[in-house]
Amino acid sequence: MRYCKLCVIPDTRPNIHFNEEGVCSACVLAAQKKQEIDWKAREAEFRSYCDKYRTKDPKQWDCIVPVSGGKDSTYQIHIAKNVYKMNPLAVTFRTDARTPLGEHNIKALREMGVDQIDITPNPVGFNKLRKKTFEEFGDCSLPDHLAIWNIIPQIAVKFGIPLVLWGENPDMEYGGQADLQQVSKLNRDWFRHQHILKGKTAEDWADADLPLSEIKFCVYPDEKDLDALGYTPLFIGYYHPWDADQNVKISEKYGFQRRKKGPIMGLYDYADLDCEHIVIHHYFKWLKFGFNRITDNACNEIRKGRLTREEAVKLVREKDGVKPPKSFIENFCKRIGITVEQFWEVAEKFRNHEVWKKDENGEWYIDGWIGGDKVPDRFPYEEED
Ligand SMILES: [Zn+2]
């Protein structure tokens, strides 16, 4: 494994690129962002979109804000409603693994004075899809991403609302594909290139056992309908400097709650708290790529200038790779109809043998892990309430 010289991201991360100096694409962009981006011009462009779509019709909404109950949701509503004086329709996709904290944060967000639609897809079809994505790609969250990225354009067409205000552009924040980092819109081109979808659409997943009609909310609407609407799905994070830490402080004023017991598997007590699946999803990065949420979060802290690389290395060595709570795994297994033993059999299939080796005692370790020594995979479960 090769690590970025400035942060602690390894070259096993999908879509990351290292330049000749050994610096990753996310660090290069973070440095550029501080200097080169004309934020005033971008904010002016954002304002012009809001002005274009703000309506005087009391029966209509000005924009859709996709929300989950996570760290960015309340902040997105704050930007839309309080900063740009828009009348947003909040739209959530109800995963069958939404946490009580996620539910609380959605309620708090509604109480800012917005309408909300909670979309709950057919659980039979959805869990069939989830079983497939888990067994085929070791990914339990793929259906959730496929759903939210397709539900929003569907609702836009059905309700006749062209403007959508998404939160961050993950390629920009975490260092994805270079050509996707400077993308201002979350359209189909953008999400089809996301590693998380494995290049597959709902139509690709459908078969005799899983008819498309059982996963309707995962289907992208007709392009003609979107063009006729003037569909405009913007990333707020492209137009405004994005810092989750600052955003959360604003969200808390509106009742957003952090996780009282502390971070579930990264550094932030405000992240990964709205859905059980996302925690399992992150854990699989540990098996596939040899890093997990502490690495992701520590890299972000380095780029924001709040952590040194040395401190980050220490954190990664001490804490990265913690397993998801047992209850999350048990719930997940129940949903897709497998046993916990089968879960770990699947997990083992996705352990990347380029990254993981066995020592003389038959214990797994990451070869060339950051900091030098061989470190075995022996982190305990953390129990959720
Ligand atoms: Zn880096």
Residue 8 C-alpha to ligand 1 middle, in angstroms?
Answer: 6
Q: pTM score, two decimals?
A: 0.90
**Residue 248 or 35, more confident:** 248
**pLDDT computed for residue 177 by the predictor:** 61
Q: What would the pLDDT profile of 36-64 be if each residue is shown by its tens digit?
A: 788 999 999 999 999 999 999 999 999 99
The β-bridge relationship of strands 364-366 and 375-376 is: antiparallel
User: Which amino acid would we find at residue 313?
Assistant: V
Where helices occur in the chain by DSSP H, the ranges are 25-35, 39-53, 73-77, 100-110, 123-137, 142-159, 170-174, 178-181, 188-192, 202-205, 223-229, 236-239, 244-252, 276-289, 293-303, 309-319, 326-336, 340-349
- Structure token pair of residue 332: 């997940």
Q: What would the pLDDT profile of 273-285 be if each residue is shown by its tens digit?
A: 889 999 999 999 9
**pLDDT computed for residue 183 by the predictor:** 67
- Structure token pair of residue 254: 């509106």
Q: How confident is the model at residue 188 (pLDDT cuts 50, 70, 90)?
A: confident
Q: What would the pLDDT profile of 254-311 be if each residue is shown by its tens digit?
A: 999 999 989 988 999 998 888 999 999 999 999 999 999 999 999 999 998 999 999 9
382 has pLDDT over 70 = no
Domains of the chain: 39-245 (3.40.50.620), 261-376 (no CATH)
Q: How confident is the model at residue 198 (pLDDT cuts 50, 70, 90)?
A: confident
**pLDDT computed for residue 169 by the predictor:** 78
Residues with CB under 5 A from ligand 1 (ion): 4, 6-7, 24, 27
User: Which amino acid would we find at residue 64?
Assistant: I
Positive or negative torsion for Cα 20, 192, 62, 73: negative
208 has pLDDT over 90 = yes
Residue 36 C-alpha to ligand 1 middle, in angstroms?
Answer: 18
Average pLDDT, the chain: 91
Residue 175 C-alpha to ligand 1 middle, in angstroms?
Answer: 8
- 3-state DSSP assignment of residue 287: helix
Residue 309 C-alpha to ligand 1 middle, in angstroms?
Answer: 10
**pLDDT computed for residue 385 by the predictor:** 54
DSSP state of 66: E
Residue 6 C-alpha to ligand 1 middle, in angstroms?
Answer: 5
**pLDDT computed for residue 171 by the predictor:** 66
**Residue 342 or 177, more confident:** 342
Q: What's the average model confidence in pLDDT over 161-180? A: 76
Residue 32 C-alpha to ligand 1 middle, in angstroms?
Answer: 13
**pLDDT computed for residue 308 by the predictor:** 97
Q: What's the average model confidence in pLDDT over 155-182? A: 80
Residue 372 C-alpha to ligand 1 middle, in angstroms?
Answer: 18
Where helices occur in 218-304 by DSSP H, the ranges are 223-229, 236-239, 244-252, 276-289, 293-303
**Residue 88 or 237, more confident:** 88
**pLDDT computed for residue 206 by the predictor:** 96
Residue 139 C-alpha to ligand 1 middle, in angstroms?
Answer: 25
**Residue 15 or 64, more confident:** 64
Residue 300 C-alpha to ligand 1 middle, in angstroms?
Answer: 9
**pLDDT computed for residue 123 by the predictor:** 94
Q: What would the pLDDT profile of 156-165 be if each residue is shown by its tens digit?
A: 999 999 999 9
Residue 245 C-alpha to ligand 1 middle, in angstroms?
Answer: 19
Buried b (16+ CB within 10 A) or exposed e, 17-38: ebeeeebbbbbbbbeeeeeeee
2 has pLDDT over 70 = yes
**pLDDT computed for residue 182 by the predictor:** 64
Q: What would the pLDDT profile of 339-381 be if each residue is shown by its tens digit?
A: 999 999 999 999 999 999 998 988 899 988 997 777 777 776 7
Can you tell me the distance from the alpha carbon of 258 to that of 354, in angstroms, rounded to the nearest whole number? 37
Can you tell me the distance from the alpha carbon of 20 to that of 236, in angstroms, rounded to the nearest whole number? 32
Residue 157 CB neighbours (<10 A) = 17
Q: Is the Cβ–Cβ distance between 234 and 202 less than 8 Å?
A: no
Segment holding 64, helix H or strand E: strand 63-67
Q: How confident is the model at residue 5 (pLDDT cuts 50, 70, 90)?
A: very high
User: What string of H, E and C letters represents the secondary structure of 289-312?
Assistant: HCCCHHHHHHHHHHHCCCCCHHHH
**pLDDT computed for residue 192 by the predictor:** 76
